[in-house]
Chain A
Amino acid sequence: MFYSLISGAIPAFEHFGVFRFIFSAEWDPHPEAEQYGALSFITGTVLTSFLALVFCLPFSLPVALFTGEYFKGKKVASVISAVIDLLAGIPSIVYGLWGFYTLRPLIMDLGLSSQGFGILTASLVLAIMIIPYAASLSAEFISMVPRELKEGAYSLGATRLEVIRNVIFPASGSGIFASYILALGRALGETMAVTMLIGNTNNIPYSLGDTGNTMASVIANQFGEADGLKLSSLIAIGLLLFLITAIINFIGKLIMKKLS
């Protein structure tokens, strides 16, 4: 698998050099002077994913506390986790449609961006998409905090909030951190929804309303008509994306392994 990615990417790397390919923001398919560089897509990917992580935090953390601590094992918690499961089951393309027809007009009305496409729209939808992963994993870590620790704090007169802040978060902090890292890994690779919402322009985005392209969306958009050097460049972007997500996931898994 790895081999086929690398062998496909070699022509692009050979032609431009690995370093220049990664750090060049030019993407020019003119037949005479083809110039391909991945920098604008890397920035697009990183920007949308981290923004999505920020947007998803205020929702996934309460859900994790709700199902993992406050209502652990109760019926309400199972309702919420069923909702979360359903959210995880909706296909990426349906999220994209929803973002296009519901969220985009809203963003336009708010005047955040003239077309409604762009980094902000894409990361909002991405945030909804990764809530399930972040929430269910961190709920697991929160519910794994030993009872004795919590009861000790209660017996000292702590309120529930103080137990959460001073016992549960320190005890499960790295687990929660790991689950957000894994959610980030998901966000990095998301393709369809982002492709439909980010605007697909080959430039480095500088603000929230700017359009751009992520590594996954440029592959999805241009793979069909690509050949020769362009195809190889797209495969090279795929390779980079694969490496980035693999590293992110590896870090997340490593933290988790240390815990258990």
Chain B
Amino acid sequence: MKPMSSLTYRHFKDRLFFWTVCIFSALTAIPLILIIWEVVKKGYKQINLNFFTETAPSTLDAMLARNSGELIPGGIANGITGTLLMVVIASLLAIPTGILGGIYLSEKPKTWFSILIRFLTDLVQGSPSIVIGIIAYSWIVKPLGSYSALAGSIALSIMMLPLIIRSTEETLKMLPGSLKEAGLALGASYTRVILKVLLPSAFGGLFTGILLAISRVMGETAPLMLTALGSSAINWDILKPTSAVPLLIWEFYNDPNLIDMIWSSSLFLLLSILLLNIIAKQVARKWKIQ
């Protein structure tokens, strides 16, 4: 055996592997670029003021506009308001519960109750969004007899809950124990320490977790199809069917006359989600626990 050639061979193999890793890693970025490029290219021309203030156009209007070569009239105001309504209600439901749950898990990590909670959190987090849609359907839609924004919000809040519980728990765990001890040593009660010491110092982490949870559920379509159904008018009544941006995209997708609207709605949705993500990252960086 020739040791030198074998060494060269080994080095060659090493280099080759390194570059393969680099190339394939770079390749993963391609779908992202392609998707964003396509959405921007096809979506930007429909975005104007009407896009945000008017409700979704009817098929007939869209067909007429297309035939005369104009932009499709109308916008996605019903979707934007619906998404807003449902995300706000879902947040109101999920944030307090989630933070309280997270505090419990980090304060009492070993009791049987917290083990059960952790198990359930994992279970819900792993379950497919459409199954959560079915559950919200049988909880809310069936007893009330109609599709509603409330049902959609419940579905979204079920999806947000495990994310918030987990991020709260992780953030609180990272806080130094001395912080709590110092508070207790000053004679503050346990509740006071949690409210005035732990939560404020964990604020950055909690906020990031909440923003990420919101950005996660904003793009959800499947559970909303089974719960909020969609509506062609702006609706603020939580007991009535409501539209949402992803639901509108699904409607546009199923209607050949409205194809141009798909891309602008997707662009809007994508931009809002990216914006939330970026804000979350910035907050996380600024409020990082030392």
B173 to chain A, nearest CB (A): 14
Q: Which one of B13, B24, B130, B137 has the greatest number of beta carbons of chain A within 10 Å? A: B130
The answer to the question of B57 belonging to the interface, with a C-beta cut-off of 8 Å to chain A, is no
How many residues in B have their beta carbons less than 8 Å from beta carbons of A? 57
Nearest-CB residue, chain B, relative to A253 = B122
Which of A162, A188, A220, A241 is within 8 Å of B225, CB to CB? Answer: A220
- In the complex, what residues of A have CB within 8 A of residue B243's CB? none
* A249 in contact with B24 (CB, 8 Å): no
Which of B17, B138, B262, B274 is within 8 Å of A8, CB to CB? Answer: B138
Known contacts being A85-B277, A216-B222, is A1 close to B249, with CB within 8 Å?
Answer: no
Which of A5, A101, A159, A248 is within 8 Å of B13, CB to CB? Answer: A159
- In the complex, what residues of A have CB within 8 A of residue B122's CB? 249, 253
Known contacts being A90-B270, A97-B266, is A238 close to B35, with CB within 8 Å?
Answer: no
Find residues 28-64 in chain B having any chain A CB closer than 8 Å to their own CB: 28-29, 31-32, 34-35, 38-39
* B34 in contact with A98 (CB, 8 Å): yes
Known contacts being A90-B35, A249-B126, A253-B122, is A223 close to B250, with CB within 8 Å?
Answer: no
Which of B131, B222, B269, B277 is within 8 Å of A192, CB to CB? Answer: B222
Cα–Cα distance between A246 and B28 once the two chains are bound (Å) = 28
Do most interface residues of chain A lie in helix, strand or loop, or is the interface mixed? helix
* B222 in contact with A92 (CB, 8 Å): yes
* B226 in contact with A223 (CB, 8 Å): yes
Known contacts being A59-B27, A161-B17, is A93 close to B129, with CB within 8 Å?
Answer: no
* B32 in contact with A83 (CB, 8 Å): yes
Of A30-38, A60-68, A168-176, the one with at least 4 CB within 8 A of chain B: A60-68
- In the complex, what residues of A have CB within 8 A of residue B101's CB? none
* A241 in contact with B131 (CB, 8 Å): yes
Known contacts being A4-B139, A160-B18, A238-B134, is A87 close to B28, with CB within 8 Å?
Answer: yes
The answer to the question of A84 belonging to the interface, with a C-beta cut-off of 8 Å to chain B, is yes
Cα–Cα distance between A71 and B78 once the two chains are bound (Å) = 46
* A4 in contact with B138 (CB, 8 Å): yes
- In the complex, what residues of B have CB within 8 A of residue A65's CB? 21
The answer to the question of A235 belonging to the interface, with a C-beta cut-off of 8 Å to chain B, is yes
B248 to chain A, nearest CB (A): 10
* B39 in contact with A191 (CB, 8 Å): no
Which of B21, B29, B130, B218 is within 8 Å of A216, CB to CB? Answer: B130
The answer to the question of A128 belonging to the interface, with a C-beta cut-off of 8 Å to chain B, is yes
The answer to the question of A137 belonging to the interface, with a C-beta cut-off of 8 Å to chain B, is no
The answer to the question of B215 belonging to the interface, with a C-beta cut-off of 8 Å to chain A, is yes
Cα–Cα distance between A188 and B127 once the two chains are bound (Å) = 10
Cα–Cα distance between A187 and B274 once the two chains are bound (Å) = 22
The answer to the question of A53 belonging to the interface, with a C-beta cut-off of 8 Å to chain B, is no
Interface 1/0 per residue, B246-290 and A, CB below 8 Å: 100110010000000011001001100110010000000000000
Cα–Cα distance between A56 and B270 once the two chains are bound (Å) = 23
The answer to the question of B91 belonging to the interface, with a C-beta cut-off of 8 Å to chain A, is no
Cα–Cα distance between A86 and B11 once the two chains are bound (Å) = 35
Which of A1, A63, A86, A196 is within 8 Å of B24, CB to CB? Answer: A63
* A91 in contact with B253 (CB, 8 Å): no
The answer to the question of B135 belonging to the interface, with a C-beta cut-off of 8 Å to chain A, is yes
* B277 in contact with A160 (CB, 8 Å): no
B133 to chain A, nearest CB (A): 8
Cα–Cα distance between A223 and B39 once the two chains are bound (Å) = 29
Cα–Cα distance between A244 and B127 once the two chains are bound (Å) = 9
Nearest-CB residue, chain B, relative to A7 = B138
Sample of 6 more A-B contacts, CB < 8 Å, known A94-B39, A94-B249, A220-B222: A62-B22, A90-B270, A91-B273, A94-B269, A102-B34, A191-B130
7 nearest interchain CB pairs?
A: A189-B128, A91-B219, A249-B126, A62-B24, A191-B222, A159-B14, A66-B25
Can you sample 25 A-B contacts with CB below 8 Å?
A4-B135, A5-B131, A58-B24, A60-B28, A62-B23, A63-B25, A84-B28, A91-B218, A91-B219, A91-B246, A91-B269, A93-B219, A93-B249, A94-B266, A95-B35, A96-B253, A98-B39, A135-B28, A160-B14, A161-B14, A182-B126, A191-B129, A192-B222, A223-B137, A245-B131
